[in-house]
A and B are shown apart, each in its own frame.
Chain A
Amino acid sequence: MKSPVPILLLTLGLAATTQAAFGVVLPGAHAVADAPLAGKVLDENGAGLPGVTVRVKGGTTGTVTDNQGAFSLPDVPTSATLLISYVGYKAQEVRADRTGSITVRLVPDRGELNEVVVVGYGTQQRRNLIGSVVKVDPTDTKELPVGSFDAQLQGKVSGVQISSNTGVPGSAVNVRVRGATTINGSNTPLYVVDGVFINNNSLQTISTGGKATSPIADLNPSDIESVEVLKDADATALYGSRGANGVIIVTTRRGNFNQKPKISLNVSQGWAKAAELWELATGPEHATLVNENWLNTTGPTPRTFENRPYRPVSEGGRGLPEQQPTFDRLSQVFRTARLQNYDVSVAGGNSASRYYIGGGFTKQESILQPIDFQRASFKVNLDQQLSDKVQIGVSNSFSRTYRNEGRAGDGPAGGLLQAALHTPTLLSPYDANGQLVGRASFDNVELLLKNYDVNSTSLRYIGNLYGDIQLLPTLKFRTSFGVDYNSYDEKEYWNTLLIAGAGVGGLATSSASQYASLLNENTLTYRQQFGRHTVGVIVGNGLQGDTFYRTYAQGTGFPNNSFKEISAASVTSSIGNAGTTGNASSIGNRSAYRLASFFGRADYNFDGRYLFNVSFRTDGSSRFGRANQWGYFPSVGAAWRLKEEGFLRDVTVLSELKLRASYGVTGNQNGIGNFAARGLWNGGANYQDNAGIAPQQLANDNLKWEQTSQANVGLDLAFFDNRLGVEFNAYSKYTKNGLIQLTQPATTGFSSYWANGVEISNKGLEFALNTVNIRRPDFSWNSGFNVATNVNNIEKLNTPAQFGSRNLILQQQGHPLYSFWLYKQLYVDPQTGNAVYDDVDKDGKITAADRQIVDSIWPKFFGGLTNTITYKGFDASVLIAFQYGNKVYNHNRFFGEGGGARDEARVIFASNLARWQKPGDVTDVPRPDGINVNNYLDGGSRWLEDGSFVRLRNVSLGYTLPETLTRRVLGGTVRVYAQGSNLVLLTKYTGLDPESAASSDANQQGIDLGTPPQPRSFQVGVNATF
């Protein structure tokens, strides 16, 4: 066997001089010639199959079929055999029959190895993959009522951790491909939809308490054909600058050539409800604890039994504990939510054109009133062959997403769960005059629900226009223009009955944001087979420009509560104190950045046994300093298919044995400001109604690309005709020059500056097992299981960075990202009832110096289990997602376990009743002694809980009506189905949902506050195809 390397170099050289080379290689057959031969290749439906390779066995003559599947060869020996092959179909050999034109019908090869996988700027057969790429079938979970397709994939992809941090549909989702690589940069993967790099950062301005909307929810999951997740450097390097966090490629549905119009309908209705709600202390229990705290503490006046707060009214008290009422606000804000979904699509095509037209509408209520999510979408994908060499096409997604929003996170004004959950149960919603009134500095629940008026409308267009030119049979040029346009309009109105509007005569905010991304990419693809050698080369360039505008205005002082638009306000511009936004003035924002890229990849395949990949990308970004704008991202990969070696070829029990290895460097610049490298002064530092300017940001001329190098080794194994498949990957990622807003000593006058100041490692193992348990014509059962582990560590960070409420999260060298920084409570002394904390510095006092890192949000392992079964007309699928070993800070419980010290300012959770009361009590809830004195320290580890869970994410059951019946009556097929989500959640976590987080900010993960859980839902629906 010859060494493949010189051949690779040779063919690269050939590619440079294509004309000359192919003049010789292709038509130059010198075999014994006879008359020309013509024929046609058809697919399983009898439609012409374009692009099929037809070659003469043992010779060099070959061609590909045209749009109609027709081919003709000029000179074919009479005795020749034709080899006919096409990706995804079983290859066939056909005798060159001279008696007429040949018609060949190809049979699809359903085998796993022939599956076509979308990779960067092209497709590959699974058997030829070097990189770690997971193709996800979104079908079973398409109906999950979560808004965005990424949230539907939880548990389906090994090594990809997906957490819905709230039960509100259409909210941002944390998606992490193989851990997290950066602190202040973005850790979310790159989303590529039909070749367009789409924005996945929320444009939301109006605060919903730390939550963000998901821009991915603008896509209708029904229009999605397939989702590919690119994980290792070999797979992502072609996306270079943006590949460090993995790439999610979404391919939307298209029609087929020569396909009769196929109409699909899908209608479903459903209901969702919280599986459980928090357990709160009753009024008498609350009063008892307040009294107990009173006696345990001292104040400006001596505290005695006689002057305890809850003593008889006759003694000047608030009444005895047992006389206190209990009010249930939780059941007021939670509801049984309605879910509805309607999709219709038509797909088809003739010999030269194909189309897909889809329309959808979904409305998903949140279980937390008054929040809901509505999306109307419209999809048009067209492809047209202008000639047998030129094809053009467009992909268009239009959508309008409307959200009734609510503050389902932190913050008092307008906070739904603050009002319903954090208001003490013993406080009446009515004042002495019988008027509804907010309590404990929170809004009144009923007033809130009646007067809530916060909404947003997202108009999104994602489009791509491409032209493909087959310059030569082996050389294709593609140019494509992509657009991601998002107009995001938000409004809020707080009338005078609500805290935010009270006292200011009503408050209205309007914010209009526009995001536009324009992209042009040009690629030249060359692929050629020389005997047992296959060579592919792709080179390309890309230019992308993003612009962002925002106009924001506030008005206060409305004539009355019927006026809601800013035009009626007596004071425009904004106020700083009562607003929920924290923005201090009317704002106009304008920002832009640009990216220029050049990239290339060469792959070489010898005999289907040895596979090599080399790729390189360079990106220039306007975000970095002049000297550092360009980043260089190379990768190499190789695979060895042992199965194709002589010693294994005949081992029939083994269907696949492949070793893969890759190494590469990818980059990241997402998450940083467009002008992060520059020293900036801003306006707006006004005084006395005069303009003022002030330093805003320190310059860092050296700011450069964050770079993640990743090594991956993998093993693919399959047995028994691919009925048992195993994929194993081990990876090691190391991020250097990590982008961070490096904490600055305050003496500089700055809190931080953008720097390449962190190094982070992620190491992990991934395992996936797919089995075909039963494969019979009328009965099939497939299972999938995946599990992954990732170990994250901050390798270098000179100054620790604090995040989250009460600085609960600390990013510190030598610890994983998102570690909790707490006072570690060891136990409660049974004799005194006092909490005993770990005195780290052994000075006999518990001070801030005793706070330490106690665990992190990372699970030790996570994964999922899927089962799909079909039996005759019935089908069923089950998806279980699990994770183990992650920690959650139960911040709700922190507030709810104040031991009575917060008196009537906060609710008390039922869990607080387990407090120490007398010597000998063994409990972990200490004696009430005030807040932050000793026993109830802010940041105590008592509220850090195990967040491990097993979740029955999805169960669906379907029945397809007998075709004999439906074909005759309706002319199509009809399937009815029922689906349930989150039916079971097994966890030790005492909150409602271990995935909940108060904030969508990645650096504040794992802090659960004021967040509705992911609901249990049940849906029924009908699919019909005509």
Chain B
Amino acid sequence: MPFRQRALLLRRPAPVSFFSRAYLRSIAPFLVMALIMGLSACTSYLDVSPTESIADNQTIVDQKSASTAVNGVYSALSNSGYYGTSFQSIGYLGSGDIQWTGTQSQVQEFITHNVRADNATISTVWSSIYVTINRANHVLAKVPGVADPLLTQARRDQYLGEAYFLRALAYFDLARTFGGVPLITQPTLKATDNQGIARATQAETYAQVLRDLDAAEPLLPNPATVQPTDRYRATRKTVWALKARLYLYQGNWAQAESYATRLVADNANYQLLAPFNSFFANNVRGTAESVFEIFYNGTTEPNTHRGNWQPTSNGGTRQWAPNAGLVSVLTTAPNNTPNGRSTLIAAVGGTTWYGNLYYRNPGSDPSYVFRIAELYLIRAEARAQQNNLAGALADLNAVRTRAGLANSPATTQPDILLAIENERRLEFALEPHRWFDLARTGRATAVFKDPLNNAAPLPAFRLLLPVPISQLQVDAALKQNPGY
């Protein structure tokens, strides 16, 4: 190697004339290297493919990819922006029973019913629900065209039925939170799709929910024996549960009663488990109480809910907590029965109360969407509205009995309706119901005060939350709810 020799000896190199053999020999390696590098610069050099992701035109092509895409829709439902925390928090923070113990004023706004259009939670919720809808739309648009022998008709129907159901739930949640919203039923394939679409009315949005439920109902299986896994995914029975709730929200009492009855009557599969905490305590999941709950394994599918409820000693931040009023009700007779509703809350050092429905660590608590108790109470309310007071009381008392309480003393229709409202308050104390209940019945204006003027009742415009201002800024077709 002439190179090495020269380098080591460090002696003065002999002058080399240009184009001499020695000179050519010394530059030859460089020229060869340059040539190799030059040749490699063909177009394929710039062709680099991702290994973490797949291209969006080859996503749902066979049975396997269709089933994983459906899982993706459930995953969106379970996201912290949706049933994982944020959407649920809207339902219970506005109940009047929760206090703000952190520093994020976006939380306080729900508690004081002073939600502003720049509230970060509503922005997250709006976006997270539309993410769910887009994923469902992809399944609905692509699965029918998949040709794969493994994609049997039964599987195809199930996937489509699940997607229809999940889209129905998504629009239902949007409509009850914000009112009517843009109805998007096709997947977003390119950047210009699905925008500039004006909001439908709330009635039109509920009609879309019903269309999707009607589509899902025949497609989904109706298991004779409901397995725990059937409680984590949509079945025909889950469709009925949402229909019951939808009709209740629409004041279609007969239909609400009818659909609720289909589940309440299904004693083999759904029961009010006693004691009260049987549906959540001791790390249980998928109990007979549950019609639809969202599955979390705590590791790759974490439920972030607990962090907001649990105190720092349990690794949470206790952003919000049961307020003194709720603590007082739950810890005194008649609610302080063993394993009763009082077990929804716990205290550090006997004084610092925190919600304990979401307690598992790591966070594998289910998020409850439909419990059979709700179907009882839906039917009770529908019956009471139809003046079937005895029937209403029977359903109400079934729920009370399970909670270790005496029968309701209510007798008149208004009293029974109020008793149902109050029962729902405690039965679902930490679940996302009370704000939506008081908003749909309009009772919120009587129960809560105007946040800007404590002498006045809550203005009716506040029953709907504002459309996030960040969305108004990017889509001129969107209009704000009045009052905001």
Interface contact A594-B54, CB-CB below 8 Å: no
Task: Kindly supply a per-residue 1/0 record for chain A positions 485-509, scoring 1 wherever the CB is within 8 Å of any chain B CB and 0 otherwise.
Answer: 0000000000000011111100000
**Do A849 and B316 touch (CB < 8 A)?**
no
The reply on A431 being an interface residue by CB < 8 A is: yes
Q: Are A694 and B135 in contact (CB under 8 A)?
A: yes
Within the complex, what minimum Cβ distance (angstroms) separates A702 from chain B?
10
Q: Name the one of B134, B297, B303, B306 contacting A749, with C-beta atoms under 8 angstroms.
A: B134
Residue from B51, B54, B59, B318 within 8 A of A590 (CB atoms): B51
Bound state CA distance, A275 and B304, in angstroms? 40
Contacts of A67 in B (CB 8 A): 12-13
B50 contact set on A, CB distance < 8 A: 591, 674-675, 678, 680
Q: Are B72 and A576 in contact (CB under 8 A)?
A: no
A577: which of B10, B112, B304, B325 is its contact (CB, 8 Å)? B304
In this assembly, does A777 line the interface, its C-beta being within 8 Å of a C-beta of chain B? no
Interface residue B188 (Cβ < 8 Å from any Cβ of A): yes
| A380 to B: closest C-beta gap in Å | 15
Does B48 lie within 8 Å of A594, measured CB to CB?
A: yes
**CB pair A682 B108 closer than 8 Å:** no
Q: Tell me, yes or no, whether A906 is within 8 Å of chain B by CB.
A: yes
A695 touches B304 (CB 8 A): no
B-side contacts of A939, CB under 8 Å? 118
Neighbouring B residues of A477 by C-beta, 8 Å: 27, 30
Residue B148 at the chain A interface, CB threshold 8 Å: no
Cβ of A412 within 8 Å of any chain B Cβ, yes or no, is yes
Contacts of B33 in A (CB 8 A): 479
- B295 near A387 with CB under 8 A, answer no
B307 A577 Cβ-Cβ under 8 A? yes
**Are B302's CB and A577's CB within 8 A?**
yes
Q: Which of B177-206 contact A (CB under 8 A)?
A: 182, 184, 187-188, 190-191, 193-197
CB contact under 8 A between A687 and B470, given known A681-B56, A848-B117: no
Distance from A918 Cβ to chain B, minimum over Cβ atoms (Å): 21
Cα A827 to Cα B363 with chains together (Å): 47
Within 8 Å CB of B131, what residues of A? 746, 749-750
| B415: Cβ under 8 A from any A Cβ | no
Q: Shortest distance in angstroms between A383's beta carbon and chain B's nearest beta carbon? A: 11
The yes or no answer to B266 lying at the interface (CB within 8 A) is no
Min Cβ gap A425→B in Å is 16
Please determine whether B474 and A743 come into contact, CB atoms closer than 8 angstroms. Answer: yes
Near A by CB (< 8 A), chain B positions 303-346 give 303-307, 310, 312-319, 323-325
Smallest CB separation, B182 vs chain A (Å)? 5
Q: A522 interface residue, CB < 8 Å from B?
A: yes
Residues of B close to A751: CB separation below 8 A: 127
Whether B94 sits at the interface, judged by CB under 8 Å, is no
Given contacts A390-B27, A687-B301, contact A748 B52 (CB under 8 A): no
Q: Within the assembled complex, what's the spacing in Å between the Cα atoms of A616 and B72?
A: 48
**Candidate in A432, A675, A692, A847 with the most chain B CB atoms within 10 angstroms:** A692
Asked if B440 is at the interface of the complex by the 8 Å CB criterion, the answer is no
Give the one of B14, B105, B449 with max A CB within 10 A.
B105
Closest to B188 in A: A748
Contacts of B370 in A (CB 8 A): none
What residues of chain B lie closer than 8 Å to A744, measured between beta carbons? Answer: 191, 195, 474
Are B300 and A686 in contact, with the CB atoms below 8 A?
yes
Measured between beta carbons, the chain A residues less than 8 angstroms from B349 are 431-432
Among A479, A622, A691, contact of B71 (Cβ-Cβ < 8 Å): A691
Chain B CB within 8 A of A934 CB: yes
A389-B16, A746-B127, A848-B469 known; A571 and B299 CB under 8 Å? yes
B105 adjacent to A685 (CB under 8 Å): no
Find out whether the CB atom of B34 lies under 8 angstroms from the CB atom of A747: no
- Does B55 belong to the interface (CB within 8 Å)? yes
| Stretch in B95-103, B208-216, B274-282, B381-389 touching the partner | B95-103
Q: Which of A738-782 contact B (CB under 8 A)?
A: 742-751, 753, 755
Q: Which residue of B lies closest to A520 (CB)?
A: B37
Chain B residues with Cβ below 8 Å from A932 are 105, 108-109, 114, 116
Q: Is the CB of B449 within 8 A of A298?
A: yes
Within 8 Å CB of A688, what residues of B? 71, 74, 229, 232-233, 295, 301
Cβ contact within 8 Å between B452 and A690: no
Given known A698-B190, A744-B474, A747-B130, contact A578–B316 (CB-CB < 8 A): yes
Indicate if B221 sits at the interface (CB-CB under 8 A): no
Q: Does A300 contact B (CB under 8 A)?
A: yes
Task: Give the residues in chain B near A848, CB-CB below 8 Å.
Answer: 116-118, 466, 469, 484
Residues of A within 8 A of B22 (CB): 387
**How long is the Cα–Cα vector from A164 to B298 in the complex, in angstroms?**
39
Asked if A686 contacts B188 (CB within 8 A), the reply is: no
**A507, closest chain B residue (CB):** B315
- Are B312 and A438 closer than 8 Å at their CB atoms? yes
Q: Contact between A679 and B118 (Cβ–Cβ < 8 Å)? A: no
Complex interface: chain A residues within 8 A of B45 (CB): 543, 594, 596
A77 CA to B136 CA in the complex, in Å? Answer: 92
Q: How far, in Å, is A384 (CB) from chain B's closest CB?
A: 5
A503 near B55: Cβ-Cβ < 8 Å: no
Q: Is A700 interfacial (CB-CB < 8 Å)? A: yes
User: Digit string of B10-45 for contact with A (CB within 8 Å is 1, else 0)?
Assistant: 111111101000110011001001100110110001
**Residue pair A389, B307 in contact (C-beta under 8 Å):** no
The docked-state distance in angstroms from the alpha carbon of A680 to that of B55 is 5
What separation, in Å, do the CA atoms of A275 and B196 have in the docked complex? 54
- Selecting from B75-83, B242-250, B255-263, B422-430, the interface stretch reads B75-83
Give the complex CA separation of A690 and B78 in angstroms.
14
A390 contacts across to B, CB distance below 8 A: 16, 26-27
Q: Chain A residues near B56 (CB, 8 Å)?
A: 678-681, 695, 697-699
Chain A residues lying within 8 Å of B313, measured Cβ to Cβ, are 437, 502-503
| Min CB gap B109→A, angstroms | 6
Assess whether A747 is in contact with B470, with CB atoms less than 8 Å apart. no
A323 at the interface (CB under 8 A from B): no
Closest chain A CB from B324 CB (angstroms)? 8
Closest to A678 in B: B55
**Given A442, A500, A594, A684, which contacts B315 in the complex, CB threshold below 8 Å?**
A500
CA of A261 to CA of B50, assembled, Å: 51
Complex contacts, A596 vs chain B, CB 8 Å: 41, 45-46
Say yes or no: B195 contacts A747, CB within 8 Å.
yes
Contact in complex: A501, B315 (CB < 8 Å) = yes
A822 to chain B, nearest CB (A): 11
Q: Report chain A residues within 8 Å CB of B46.
A: 594, 596, 620-622, 629
**A388 and B15 form a contact (CB under 8 A):** yes
Interface residue B65 (Cβ < 8 Å from any Cβ of A):
yes
The answer, yes or no, to whether B120 is at the interface (CB within 8 Å) is yes
Q: Is A905 interfacial (CB-CB < 8 Å)?
A: yes
Please give me the residue from chain B that is nearest to A702 by CB atom. Answer: B191
B267 lies within 8 A of chain A by Cβ: no
Contact, CB under 8 Å: B3 / A386: yes
Question: Is A895 a contact partner of B103 (Cβ separation < 8 A)?
Answer: yes
- Contact (Cβ within 8 A) A387 B38: no
Residues on the A chain within 8 Å of B452, using CB = 933-934
Q: What are 14 A-B interface contacts by the 8 Å CB criterion? A: A471-B18, A479-B30, A543-B41, A574-B299, A674-B48, A690-B68, A691-B68, A693-B71, A698-B190, A745-B195, A748-B193, A749-B188, A753-B191, A847-B116
18 further contact pairs, Cβ within 8 A, besides A576-B363, A693-B68, A932-B109: A384-B7, A390-B16, A471-B18, A502-B315, A543-B45, A577-B303, A589-B52, A678-B56, A681-B54, A687-B72, A697-B56, A744-B195, A755-B191, A807-B120, A905-B102, A905-B103, A932-B116, A933-B112
The 10 closest A-B pairs by CB, nearest first: A749-B134, A576-B302, A503-B315, A692-B71, A679-B56, A848-B117, A575-B362, A694-B72, A687-B74, A685-B75
Where the two chains meet, the residues of B that have a C-beta atom closer than 8 Å to any C-beta of A are: 3, 6-7, 10-16, 18, 22-23, 26-27, 30, 33-34, 37-38, 40-41, 45-48, 50-57, 59, 65, 67-72, 74-76, 78, 80, 96, 101-103, 105-106, 108-109, 112, 114, 116-118, 120, 126-127, 130-131, 133-135, 137-138, 182, 184, 187-188, 190-191, 193-197, 229, 232-233, 295, 297-307, 310, 312-319, 323-325, 349, 361-363, 449, 451-452, 454, 466, 468-471, 473-475, 478, 480, 484
